Amino acid sequence: MATQKAVELNAPVALHWFRSDLRLADNPALLAASRSASHVIPVFIWSPEEEGQWPPGSAARWWLHESLQQLQQALAARGSRLLLRRGPTVPALLELAQQTGATLVCWNNRYEPAARKVEAQLGTALRAAGVMGLGFASGLLAEPGTVHSRTDAPYQVFTPFWRAFLDQVQVDAPQPSPRALPAPRRWPMSLALRQLALLPEIAWHQCLARHWQPGETAARAVLRKFVTQRLDAYELLRDRPDLDNTSQLSPYLHHGELSPRQVWTAVGKASERAGQSPTQWRRSKFCSELIWREFAAQQLFHHPALPDRSRLAQFDRLAWRNDARDFAAWSRGRTGFPIVDAGMRQLWQCGWMHNRVRMITASFLVKNLLHRWQDGERWFWDTLVDADLASNALNWQWVAGSSPDAAPWFRIFNPLSQGQRFDPEGAYQQRFVPEAGTAVYTAPIVDLGRSRQRALDAYKALRESK
């Protein structure tokens, strides 16, 4: 990570390249640009082709559209603007640097394989053009490689990673917003937001707008509500989809409207006001969820094929059924199992699903229906507003049992008992599946006992085929 001293360059013009950091506060690259240049030009480049096989899905694109609109307004309030350009990124930034006389380009690092490739290409091109390029740490509490084992090998299992993280990582306080973003005398051309064509062609996104308000201002409000009203009961109630007690911070973290440092610090301050010691709150269940996010990012960093191939390669040889009709029933919330159908309908209507129900629905697809996890991962990728490449991939592999740190194959969630345990009054299921229990409700598409045994037999055959 570049330091503040390293970027005090007195540059005439600096470009700040916005990416998954759509905020002004605790944005080290933006702060560095503001402190190092006479004029700052913020720019966002839409280049989904550079994301490889994983361009943003439909729900994430809607969120991005709304968040960019909020960012434009926040910058305008400071006398600045957000330039919008289309990619490819490297020629777009080089052209903008040439047009404006910029001698510095700042950005916050990303860790997905395709994004790292673009960063490397950009660094080479900027050096050749005589422009300084600086990347900063912003999206994680600890950069990949910071948390290390005694042998310096990356951790493959979460629990020792979690322990090492708590021992090795000191989370710095969030940085302030720039005091000023001095505008250039003349602004270069910018596309209009509508020209990026981020909104879905069908009106599906209007459902999302009823449930979410993207943007940095909304993100701060959601964080305040969580630490003041929900944090105390988080560990006790977090598995109850019928109760509104999750943080709902994941989309704001994914799009960078909040930094993980802001969340970590806010949780720490609230916990200490409630009488907890730093040791206690850092080991809390909520903080372990933040550290799981760090673990997922590290896994993707060291294993770029994580979203596409099973970490334990033998799972790619399992006798998957991959029945298209089963998958369609699952994705539409018409399996005949209320907790599964409620989750899948919540996903479609809200662009989000309760974490406990994510596990239930994923287990049902992979094990009861014997459908490969990659197809479920793709569906979540397109429909989740918080679709994060590392977390989505690792979570699906955890359920499928196909990574070194995963639920064992024989752990098959029973959707009936899970619904009774975590939605005891049936309120969540009734909300999204009001016809459950009536004559018009879909008949179950599988027998739970037989489908469970089929999954166990498939895994047994896989092990015996070694």
| pLDDT tens figures, 296-326 | 999 999 999 999 999 999 998 999 999 999 9
Give the Cα separation of 209 and 352 in Å (integer).
12
Per-residue pLDDT band for 465 (boundaries 50, 70, 90) equals confident
pLDDT at 203 over 90: no
| pLDDT tens figures, 55-95 | 999 999 999 999 999 999 999 999 999 999 999 999 999 99
| pLDDT tens figures, 379-438 | 999 999 999 999 999 999 999 999 998 778 888 999 999 999 999 999 999 999 999 999
Q: Supply the pLDDT for residue 6.
A: 43
CATH number of 313-464: 1.10.579.10
The closest of 95, 398, 415, 46 to 241, measured between CA atoms, is 415
Give the Cα separation of 255 and 64 in Å (integer).
7
- Domain residues of the chain, as ranges? 5-138, 139-172+203-302, 313-464
Q: Supply the pLDDT for residue 464.
A: 83
pLDDT at 291 over 50: yes
Q: Supply the pLDDT for residue 9.
A: 62
CATH number of 139-172+203-302: 1.25.40.80
Cβ contacts of residue 414 below 8 Å, gap of 6+? 448, 452
Question: In the predicted model, what is the mean pLDDT of residues 267-277?
Answer: 97
Per-residue pLDDT band for 8 (boundaries 50, 70, 90) equals low
Question: In the predicted model, what is the mean pLDDT of residues 181-193?
Answer: 94
**Whole-number average pLDDT of the chain:** 94
Counting Cβ atoms within 10 Å, is residue 336 exposed (0-12), middle (13-18) or buried (19+)? Answer: middle
**H or E, element range at 426:** none
Give the Cα separation of 289 and 102 in Å (integer).
40
| Tokens matching residue 314 | 């033998």
Give the Cα separation of 198 and 61 in Å (integer).
5
| pLDDT tens figures, 348-365 | 999 999 999 999 999 999
CA dist list (Å): 155 to 145, 224, 300, 304:
10, 33, 12, 15
pLDDT at 4 over 70: no
Contact of 64 with 385, CB cutoff 8 Å:
no
Sheet strands side by side (includes 104-108)? 83-86, 37-46, 11-18, 104-108, 132-136
Q: Do domains 5-138 and 139-172+203-302 have the same CATH topology?
A: no
Question: In the predicted model, what is the mean pLDDT of residues 202-212?
Answer: 83
3-state secondary structure of 229: helix
3-state secondary structure of 11: strand
Per-residue pLDDT band for 3 (boundaries 50, 70, 90) equals very low
pLDDT at 11 over 90: no
Q: Sign (positive/negative) of CA torsion 304, 26, 142, 214?
A: negative
Cβ contacts of residue 178 below 8 Å, gap of 6+? 24, 30, 31, 34, 35, 40, 78
Full-model pTM: 0.95
Per-residue pLDDT band for 288 (boundaries 50, 70, 90) equals very high
Centre a 10 Å sphere on the Cβ of residue 192 and count the other Cβ atoms it contains: 7
Centre a 10 Å sphere on the Cβ of residue 427 and count the other Cβ atoms it contains: 12
- Strand ranges inside 283-351, DSSP E: none
| pLDDT tens figures, 129-152 | 999 999 999 999 999 989 988 888
pLDDT at 440 over 80: yes
- Catalytic site positions: 289, 292, 320, 355, 373, 396
pLDDT at 1 over 50: no
Give the Cα separation of 158 and 298 in Å (integer).
11
pLDDT at 444 over 60: yes
Give the Cα separation of 305 and 343 in Å (integer).
28
Give the Cα separation of 290 and 263 in Å (integer).
9
| pLDDT tens figures, 88-125 | 999 999 999 999 999 999 999 999 999 999 999 999 99
Tell me which architecture the domain covering 5-138 has in CATH.
3-Layer(aba) Sandwich (3.40)
Contact of 302 with 144, CB cutoff 8 Å:
yes
Centre a 10 Å sphere on the Cβ of residue 209 and count the other Cβ atoms it contains: 12
DSSP conformation letters of 89-154: HHHHHHHHHHHHT--EEEEE---SHHHHHHHHHHHHHHHHTT-EEEEE--SSSS-TTSS--TTSPP
Question: In the predicted model, what is the mean pLDDT of residues 223-236?
Answer: 97
Q: Supply the pLDDT for residue 409.
A: 83
User: Cα 328–426–353 angle (5° rounding)?
Assistant: 45
